[in-house]
Amino acid sequence: MIMAPGLRKFALTAHVTCSIGWFGAVAAFQALAIAGLISQDREMVRATSLTMEVTTWFVIVPFAFASLLSGIVSSLGTKWGLIQYYWVLVKLLITIVATIILLVHTQPIDLLAEVAVKTTAFSADFRREQIQMVVASSAALIVLLVLTTLSVYKPRGMTRYGLHQLREQRQEVATVGAAMSKLHEIVQPPEGSKIQPTNFTEDDLVTPKEALQ
């Protein structure tokens, strides 16, 4: 169902806002991860670990789910649909996978925060987790850039379902056109008659779908 223009713009604005927020939050997380990795100040390392946990659960995760849900709503309410075009389908799948991976990576984030709370110093045993946070956030930024590129360029290409829907729409238009031509032939008055011919338009016709409602 195509949404009204005002509602469609609202849904699109919500999706763009959530996507930008998601990207910005991940960028901030990456800055914290890098600072914690290279810093020699123990208090700085502890602070970055605690801040990364808060940023993840209260900013990144909510924005990720909000971006996913608003994207689905926005797609269903526009001509693009959800599975009619490859670029929309690919973007949806990438977003779902990225969200799942995000939830998986919350475990080492929670581990670093737990260590920061219970101890006053970080040992070299947790350097692997710190490096993992930098790598994961960098990969996440690349993925989000790919999603942004898909949204901007909208590569051509329809799925089989989309092509099937397009054929059905064209057949319906052809059926309506044929029906209009038939009506014009039926109501055409005889030659020399003073009866004015009736002009029918597409608005005067009822499609099969409308007739069943």
Domains of the chain by start residue, with CATH: 5-157 (1.20.120), 164-212 (no CATH)
* Contact status, residue 80 vs residue 3, Cβ threshold 8 Å: no
Output b/e per residue, 84-121; b: 16+ Cβ within 10 A. bbebbbebbeebeebbeebeebeebbeebbebbeeeee
Three-class secondary structure of residue 205 per DSSP: coil
Given this model, what pLDDT does residue 165 score? 78
Three-class secondary structure of residue 191 per DSSP: coil
Tokens of 80: 């693009």
Q: What is the mean pLDDT of each run of 10 residues along the chain (213 residues)?
A: 87 96 98 93 90 97 97 91 93 97 95 85 76 96 96 91 79 72 63 54 49 44
CB-CB neighbours of 15 under 10 Å: 21
Given this model, what pLDDT does residue 198 score? 53
Among 90, 75, 81, residue whose Cα is nearest residue 164: 81
CB-CB neighbours of 198 under 10 Å: 12
